[in-house]
Amino acid sequence: MAYKRILTIQDISCVGQCSLTVALPILSASGLETCILPSAVLSTHTGGFKGYTFRDLTDDIPGIADHWESEGIKFDAVYSGYLGSARQIAYVKDITKRLASEGGLSIVDPAMADNGRLYVGFDQDFVEAMKSLVFSADIILPNITEACMLTGTEYRESYDRAYIDGLLESLESAGASTVILTGVSFAPGSTGVLVDEKGVRSYYEHRKIAKGCHGTGDIFASAFVGAMMGGRPLIDSAKIAADYTVLCIEGTQGDPGHWYGVKFEQGLPDYIRMLGL
C-alpha cells in the first residue's frame, strides 16, 4: 500500500479526548504519515469544562505554511476539524490550494454544532465562513445539525428518509461533492451513516448507545479518513469508522467519571484489525 502523507488542522485540547489528541493517534494507527497543524491550544475542550484557557495560534499558521512550501512539502490530503475563527478557515483553504499534491483531497469536518445547537463560541458569521470551506471540499463529514446550518434547513429531532434526502440535495446544490452524513437515525435504538457520492447513496445502520457522547464525531471522522486514505471504498471506510466508534463508546459507558470524552485508545487494536493491517 502506498505510504500517504496527510495534514490535519485542528485545535489541541490538552485534556478532553477530541480534535488533535484523537486525530493524530487514530490516523497514525491507520498507517498514514500524519502531520499536524494546531490551530489553538486549549487546556480542555469547551463542552462542559469551566474556565478553560485558549491560546489562539492563527498568527503562526502563515509562517508554518510558507516554511513547508519552501521545503517543497506536499500532502495527499488536508483534513480539517474544529477551527476557531473565520480567519483560520481562510488559511485552511489557502493551505489546501498551495500544499495539496496533485489529486490531493480536501476533507472537511465542519465541527461546530450538534443536537440542534452551535458549540460555545460560534456564531452565524462562523457558519457563513464554514460554508466557503465545506462547499469547495472533496469530502465533508457533517452531522445533521451542521448540515442544516450549512443549508439553512430547519433542524428536526425526528425525521424521515425524505427529509434526509432533501438535506443531501440541498448540500449538493450548494456545491458539496461527497457527503458522509453522521447520526442519521430512522428507528429508535439505531443510528447510522449516510454516504452520498455525487447523488449515489448508501446507508450503514448501527447501534445507538448514548446521546451526545463528547468527541465521537472526531473519532468517527479520523477513523474514516484513516480507512479511506488507505484506499478503501467510502462505504467500507464509513462502516469501519462507525463500528470502531461504537466499540469505543461501549468501552466508556458505565464510567460516569469519564463524561468528557470516549476511551478510544483501548479500541485501537480493534481498529487496526478492522483495517486488516
Instruction: Provide CB contacts within 8 A for 137, sequence distance 6+.
Output: 106, 107, 108, 176, 177
User: Which residue in the set 183, 192, 215, 226 belongs to the binding site for ligand PXL (CB under 6 A)?
Assistant: 215
Q: Is 245 in the site for ligand PXL (CB under 6 A)?
A: no
- Kindly tell me the sign of the dihedral angle through the C-alpha atoms of 111, 116, 120, 121: positive
Query: For residues 104 and 144, which CB has a smaller minimum distance to ligand PXL in the complex?
Result: 144
For residue 216, the minimal CB distance to ligand PXL (Å) is 8
Cα–Cα separations (whole angstroms), residue 199 to 91, 172, 227: 29, 8, 22
Question: Distance (Å, rounded) from C-alpha 116 to C-alpha 123?
Answer: 13
Query: For residues 119 and 159, which CB has a smaller minimum distance to ligand PXL in the complex?
Result: 119
Question: Distance (Å, rounded) from C-alpha 8 to C-alpha 23?
Answer: 8
Binders in 104-163 for ligand PXL, by CB under 6 A: 111, 119
Q: Is 42 in the site for ligand PXL (CB under 6 A)?
A: yes
Query: For residues 131 and 214, which CB has a smaller minimum distance to ligand PXL in the complex?
Result: 214
Query: For residues 118 and 235, which CB has a smaller minimum distance to ligand PXL in the complex?
Result: 118
For residue 66, the minimal CB distance to ligand PXL (Å) is 26
Question: Distance (Å, rounded) from C-alpha 106 to C-alpha 97?
Answer: 9
Residues making contact with ligand PXL (CB under 6 A): 11, 13, 18-19, 42, 45-47, 82, 111, 119, 215, 217-218
